[in-house]
Amino acid sequence: MTTGTTDPTQPAPPGRRAVLAAVGVAVGLTLAQVVFAACISAAHDAGRAYLSLYGWDGGWYRDIAERGYHRPAEMTPTDFGNVAFFPAYPLAAALVRRLLGVRTDVALLLTSQLACVGFWTYFQLLLRRWGVPPRRVALAVALIALHPASFFLVASYSESLFLCSVLGFLYWSESDLPGRATLTAAHGVVMTATRLLGVPLAFLPLIRAVLTAPRGQLPRAALRRGDVPLLIALVSCLGAASFFGYCQAHFGEWNLYMRTETVGWDVEPDYLAVLYPSSYPVRPVQFDDLFLEADYVSRLSSPLTLWMLLGLAAAEVWLARRGVGGWRERAALYVCAAALFWVPITSHQARGLGSLIRFSLCVHVLLLLAALHLLTRWGPARWPRWAGLAVAVWLTASAVVLLASAYRFTHGGWVA
């Protein structure tokens, strides 16, 4: 990853044809995800098959898009309003609804799928910039597309908008093109207005600038190096800050978002939960009438994600001792991935780690980006056979769980 200065070892900025090719592939991937989910729904007509991707959280977003935020005079577990969801996704869906004249449920799906195109486009452009070979790009795409929660990228959820803004934020923060700071901050505002989890990610360019500062640089020069990244981070946080400001101005409670989550979903943050062994349960496989039990899959994603984090950290230490550099460039990705892992554990540990499989998707994307960047700096010509076998087993198992999860969701069942 670059730090905003020209690097002759990096590929030139993509031309129009390269960008259009990336968009074309992104459209194809998004359509493939939609068709997969629609087919597995087994609906009798195309309209119902498409709308099978609308459900659960989509109802809350629809309420916000149509009626705005509201809460009762007295909040109870059965009547607590709708302020537990950040505004960027329902606002974008309301805009799509007005522009296209479609129903809100359709607008929510179209918004998610347009953002999915943006996500896949930025994903390809980032890997192209880092010089990742086409075969590894294809493998990376498969690892994300077959993630058990990947269908949420085209469902009535905010996953794709969040990931699109995150990768756009990363892409432009590394760019040398004019206006990069403005574009980075714009993506950052959308990122923090989509999810509270975007706030720690807003400081990624600042972390990278500090860690990659030349050794021996004077403190004053180091501070100047972080001026623009710090400004970008502060502007980016305006997305979340504006939502809290709205809650204060409209409801008289800036923290109504947190209170609504507590009343409605029993969310009681435990900031040390990441240290509890109970946050990483490894239990025998649990089944129900629709194959794998949904919360079991979410609970299993917790230790798997932790092992990925620790495994990559161990690989970085091992390679650094052998003279393979670049860990400082990737450290910000690891810090942000750890933050995206820590916050859901903090919030959902007391609730049995439900929904964690969906939150793990964002963590896996960042860890995969870090791993691919690492492989561009180090990579043997030939990998051992067991490595290829391990990847094949992982993809197969992931595809099976994806099939079960998508089937459950498109048939009205709870997944995450």
At 374-383, the pLDDT tens digits run 988 876 556 7
Predicted local confidence at residue 51, as pLDDT: 96
Q: Tokens standing for 68?
A: 């705005």
Predicted local confidence at residue 8, as pLDDT: 38
Question: DSSP characters for 337-400?
Answer: HHHHHHHHHHHHGGGTTTTHHHHHHHHHHHHHHHHHHHHHH---SS--HHHHHHHHHHHHHHHH
Predicted local confidence at residue 148, as pLDDT: 95
What's the pLDDT band for 9 if we cut at 50, 70, 90? Answer: very low
Instruction: Tell me the C-alpha distance between 33 and 113, whole Å.
Output: 9
Nearest residue to 335 (alpha-carbon basis) of 206, 246, 218 = 206
Instruction: Tell me the C-alpha distance between 363 and 334, whole Å.
Output: 9
Tell me the percentage of the chain whose pLDDT exceeds 70.
Answer: 93
Domain layout of the chain by residue ranges: 14-174+380-410
What's the pLDDT band for 221 if we cut at 50, 70, 90? Answer: low
Report helix, strand or coil for 132. coil
Nearest residue to 34 (alpha-carbon basis) of 47, 50, 21, 20 = 50
Angle at 81 (CA atoms; ends 75, 86), nearest 5 degrees: 125
What is the rounded average pLDDT of the residues 212-218?
A: 66
Predicted local confidence at residue 225, as pLDDT: 62
Instruction: Tell me the C-alpha distance between 62 and 306, whole Å.
Output: 34
Given a cut of 60, is residue 11 above it in pLDDT? no
Predicted local confidence at residue 222, as pLDDT: 54
Q: Which of 234-248, 351-365, 377-391 has the lowest mean pLDDT?
A: 377-391
Q: What is the pTM of this model?
A: 0.93
Q: Using one digit for the tens of pLDDT, what is the confidence trace for 300-341?
A: 999 999 999 999 999 899 888 887 777 888 988 999 999 999
Instruction: Tell me the C-alpha distance between 384 and 389, whole Å.
Output: 9
Residue 131 near residue 376 (C-beta atoms within 8 A) = yes
Predicted local confidence at residue 284, as pLDDT: 80
Predicted local confidence at residue 14, as pLDDT: 77
Tell me the percentage of the chain whose pLDDT exceeds 90.
Answer: 66
Angle at 253 (CA atoms; ends 252, 255), nearest 5 degrees: 165
